[in-house]
Amino acid sequence: MRVAVILLFVCLVWSEMAAQRNCENDSTGLIPLVDLQGKQWRGFTGGLYYNGLNTRPADHKNKALQQAAAIKPLDGNGMQSATGKIVWIGVGASNPRTEFLRFSNQIDTMGKKNPALKLINTCIGGQGIQKMNVATDNYWKQAEKQLADSGLTNKQVQIAWIETDNTQTADTTFPKAAETLRDEFRTLLQTMRTLYPNLKLCYITARAYSGFVDLDAGATVGRGLLHPRDYYNGWSIKMLIEKQMNGDAEYAFEGALATIPFITWGSYHWTDGSKQRNDGFSIQCSTDVGGDGLHLSEAGEVKMGAQMFAYFTTDETTAPWLYKQNTSSVTEDEHTTLALHITPQPATENLTLNNIQVGVPIRITDILGNTIWSGVSQPQQIVPTQTWSSGMYILQYGVHAQPFCVQH
């Protein structure tokens, strides 16, 4: 009995040590891709796209919009139907699962959501890209079951959100590690095109910072998830998208020789630890990260879900299928709200909304969804923030949402 108690104690202590959060690892000096616009790192140009910017180049944008316009409700056999469904799946492991869950909960309560749109969370904890690349893997069997449980089929899937990595490799050599993951992404996309023949749009998101994981946590946290592979993850996605944009035959999405679906950026989640990005987004170790340093806390899940919501509800490629049709949410006038500017960033005493359309409902919430301020927009709207707590907030402007930060 005494031996059993000792063994239990040792196991408990080891489980504590095996995956611990280390909040002192709150900065590496690496710069997020979104803050590297027009700059280089190790000879590679930053920004999300090859032109060094975070906005889609014209040709890529036009092709994305063509794919978006082709998305229509489909019946179970993949045929267009007025009573059919548009299925959007989430693909990844544990953090992606909670992020997509929080995001889909917000989308499902959005009043102007397209009633034909169904979001299905197929993410499974512990599943790396090395497993998902195999079409016969249990991951895809479970995904098909989830669709079936919702009365849906693989042939109705037209949109995918992906966040993943190889959990088993320990390669941290740049650029080789990023290039290898890029090729693994290509295999994943080939697999998904086989499983989902009507898949048209794939949004790929870069992983969040994993430097809060103590390096001694390798016994329970896959080496492929540790820093600096979290940073390389975004570079691999950038390389992947550039391959398709440059017309590489192995990355073709159209024509008789197409091998993968169309790919573009989803939201970018990486930060340099707790250091705030230029757009105001940040992750705080003590509040947003769980005890193992890798998985998100509840507050972190909500924050990532809000980040995704802000991105996808303002992205021009989602408008044709995300919102109800024949409403102002998909008109050209409504898209002018995307030019809204929030200053300063971060806000201190006051928040100023410039280039604003007059008479539009505004609601500002914290990351938990609590309303902090609401009103109807006026020319150059000024919102006092001096009594608000420092942190991240979400501005809901018409049907769009935009994150911002307050700092005192």
Q: Look at residue 328 in the predicted model and tell me its pLDDT.
A: 38
Q: Are strands 350-354 and 341-343 parallel, antiparallel or unpaired?
A: antiparallel
Where do the CATH 3.40.50.1110 domains begin and end in the chain?
A: 33-322
**Segment 247-271, tens digit of pLDDT:** 999 999 999 999 999 999 999 999 9
Cβ neighbours of 6 (radius 10 Å):
10
Q: Look at residue 17 in the predicted model and tell me its pLDDT.
A: 35
Q: Tell me what the mean pLDDT of segment 208-215 comes to.
A: 91
Output the six-digit token pair for 40.
Answer: 């280089």
Q: Look at residue 16 in the predicted model and tell me its pLDDT.
A: 35
Beta strands in 328-380 (DSSP E): 341-343, 350-354, 361-366, 371-376
The set of residues, in sequence order, having a beta carbon less than 8 Å from that of 96 and lying 6+ positions away, is 90, 123, 162, 163, 164, 205
13 versus 113: the higher-pLDDT residue is 113
| Fold of domain 33-322 | Rossmann fold (3.40.50)
Task: State yes or no: pLDDT of 217 exceeds 60.
Answer: no
Lowest mean pLDDT among 284-293, 359-368, 396-405: 396-405
Residue 78 vs residues 17, 144, 373: alpha-carbon distances, Å: 50, 15, 44
Terminal-to-terminal C-alpha distance of the chain = 56
Q: What is the distance between the alpha carbons of residues 261 and 196, in angstroms, rounded to a whole number?
A: 10
Coil, helix or strand for 189?
A: helix
Q: Using 50, 70 and 90 to split pLDDT, how confident is the model at 398?
A: low
Give the H/E segment covering residue 184: helix 176-195
Tell me the one-letter amino acid at 297.
S
The set of residues, in sequence order, having a beta carbon less than 8 Å from that of 279 and lying 6+ positions away, is 34, 345, 403
Q: What is the distance between the alpha carbons of residues 350 and 27, in angstroms, rounded to a whole number?
A: 29
Q: Look at residue 366 in the predicted model and tell me its pLDDT.
A: 77
Q: How many residues does the chain have?
A: 408
Range 336-406 has CATH code 2.60.40.3080: yes
Q: Give DSSP secondary structure letters for 152-164.
A: --GGGEEEEEEE-
Task: State yes or no: pLDDT of 236 exceeds 80.
Answer: yes
Q: What is the distance between the alpha carbons of residues 391 and 222, in angstroms, rounded to a whole number?
A: 31
Q: Look at residue 385 in the predicted model and tell me its pLDDT.
A: 92
Q: Tell me what the mean pLDDT of segment 337-350 comes to.
A: 72
Q: Look at residue 214 in the predicted model and tell me its pLDDT.
A: 82
Q: Tell me what the mean pLDDT of segment 149-165 comes to.
A: 99
Q: What is the distance between the alpha carbons of residues 36 and 57, in angstroms, rounded to a whole number?
A: 17
Task: State yes or no: pLDDT of 324 exceeds 80.
Answer: yes
**Contact by Cβ (8 Å): 299, 366:** no
**Contact by Cβ (8 Å): 155, 101:** no
Q: Look at residue 107 in the predicted model and tell me its pLDDT.
A: 92
377 versus 340: the higher-pLDDT residue is 377
Task: State yes or no: pLDDT of 127 exceeds 80.
Answer: yes
Tell me the one-letter amino acid at 181.
L
Task: State yes or no: pLDDT of 333 exceeds 60.
Answer: no
Task: State yes or no: pLDDT of 327 exceeds 70.
Answer: no
Residue 246 burial (C-beta neighbours within 10 Å; 0-12, 13-18, 19+): exposed
218 versus 365: the higher-pLDDT residue is 365
Tell me the one-letter amino acid at 307.
Q
Q: Using 50, 70 and 90 to split pLDDT, how confident is the model at 343?
A: confident
Q: What is the distance between the alpha carbons of residues 343 and 280, in angstroms, rounded to a whole number?
A: 11
Q: Look at residue 15 in the predicted model and tell me its pLDDT.
A: 34
Where do the CATH 2.60.40.3080 domains begin and end in the chain?
A: 336-406
Task: State yes or no: pLDDT of 370 exceeds 90.
Answer: no
Output the six-digit token pair for 97.
Answer: 């699962």
Output the six-digit token pair for 123.
Answer: 């993410």
Q: What is the distance between the alpha carbons of residues 173 and 111, in angstroms, rounded to a whole number?
A: 47
Q: Look at residue 240 in the predicted model and tell me its pLDDT.
A: 99
Output the six-digit token pair for 347.
Answer: 């806000």
Q: What is the distance between the alpha carbons of residues 101 and 113, in angstroms, rounded to a whole number?
A: 16
pTM for the whole structure: 0.80
Matching residue, tokens 């949410």: 329
Matching residue, tokens 């700059």: 39
Closest among 268, 266, 303 to 285, alpha carbons compared: 303
Q: Tell me what the mean pLDDT of segment 378-399 comes to.
A: 81
